[in-house]
Amino acid sequence: YYKTDPEFGNRKDFRKLIKEAHRRGIRIMMDLVLNHCSEAHPWFKHALKSHQSHHRNWFVWKKAHLISADEKSHWHQPEKGPADELYYGFFWKGMPDFNYDEPAVRKTMKEVALYWIGLGVDALRLDAAMHIYPPGGENENTKWWQEFRRAIDKTGKEIFTVGEITESCAYIAPYLKKGLHSAFNFELAGHIVDALLYERHDCLARWVQDIQDYYLSLDESASDSIFLSNHDQVRIASRLEGHPAKLKLAASILLTLPGEVFLYYGEELGMMGEKPDEHLREPFPWSWADHPLQSRWIVSRHNTPGKIKALDEQRHDSGSLYQHYRNLIQVRKSHPALIRGRMGTVECADSSLVLFTRDLPGQRVLVMHNLSGELIYLQHEEEHVFFEILYGDAAALSDVPGRFRLEGYSSLIMHVNL
């Protein structure tokens, strides 16, 4: 918890990484695993020695006969030490859970976070944030994250925390009240994929608007963390069967919604991947020729020449998915309403059209996404409003004031002159 795996370098290398990233205006987020450690960790090895071990109470133990049939899969027989008790490991035997009723555990985990923050880390991704306590311990989970937040706030640094909580937004909400700054929105990722697969939606924008308003009503510093897929899920390109237009549309939807945007590496190239996990995490294809950065830790099954264009090819193609991401990210960065703006007017009359505004005082951006493959014409109700296209086909603006032409699977992002 205080060292770098030698395969990746040492503390000096880590400090250099932070320094060089900050010099370039890049902030560093670190994954922090506080729910469990490895069965090979010295703390757990020490806990196995005896009931009197200093670290015994750092983990959760129970007599075998007290464990019910429906929870047996989470309890594991130790390979060494006293055999009369089993230890709790929610995910599997190789990852024993910490006991957060033990004050020394709580103290140590806060110290671990502060150590890395002291080295210059700017943000923390908090793994398995909903599993600090076993299922049913949600109230205790939220209390812990509030305690954790207070410890971080005392540093006086602007540290961002995002929790991995694989439940609904209603479940997530209490965690954001003076606790975590944000949590990954797994529900939204599912809704976006479904909308693209079926080419229709059930008022997606209104749902996002309600979530944003709900979170901010609990804590004005709370925010959503939005994504399309992650390291544990079938990649978005595989879900959409590599459909080029839909992959661009997925990026357009994601990058126009409120929240902190997370991109899983390779999404910007259209990398594909399906279970097992190793093949969700195949090497990033820098080039199909020899390249000094190319990793070869596994032989790729899904991302090979002929199936996907490598970065060195896409970066020189103005119509590539990679350039689409670059352009949209620049549009988002250049217009504060797309970053901090509230969801404004939402139109849900046509299930194949996602239409909404993003509003800040004095700035409004109008966003349209056509989920279908058919051409759509739209008429703005106020004919004398001036529109400036920020992203989209210039032909989208017709000669008729306030009339728009939206091609199949396309998006239109416009600044509205208020």
Residues serving a catalytic function are 127, 164
**Exposed e or buried b per residue across 131-170, where buried means at least 16 C-beta atoms within 10 angstroms of its C-beta:** bbbeeebeeebbebbeebbebbeeeeeebbbbbbbbeebe
Instruction: Please name which of 84, 75, 173 lies closest in space to residue 130, comparing C-alpha atoms.
Output: 173
Question: Sheet harboring 75-76: ordered strands across?
Answer: 61-63, 85-88, 75-76
Q: Number of C-alpha atoms within 13 angstroms, CB side, residue 21?
A: 14
Amino acid at 270: G
The burial class, CB within 10 Å (0-12 / 13-18 / 19+), for 417 is: exposed
Q: For residue 165, what are the CA distances in angstroms to 21, 93, 199, 337, 356?
A: 28, 21, 28, 27, 27
User: Cβ of 39: how many Cβ atoms within 10 Å?
Assistant: 18
In angstroms, the CA 78 to CA 53 distance is 15
Instruction: Please name which of 33, 240, 215 lies closest in space to residue 116, comparing C-alpha atoms.
Output: 33
Residue 266 — left, alpha, or beta (φ > 0 → left; ψ -120 to 50 → alpha)? left
In angstroms, the CA 68 to CA 60 distance is 15
Long-range own/partner contacts, residues 188-192 (CB < 8 A, 24 or more apart): 188/224, 188/226, 188/257, 189/226, 189/227, 189/228, 189/229, 189/233, 192/228, 192/250, 192/253, 192/254
Contact of 280 with 235, CB cutoff 8 Å: yes
Instruction: Please name which of 146, 304, 283 lies closest in space to residue 222, comparing C-alpha atoms.
Output: 146
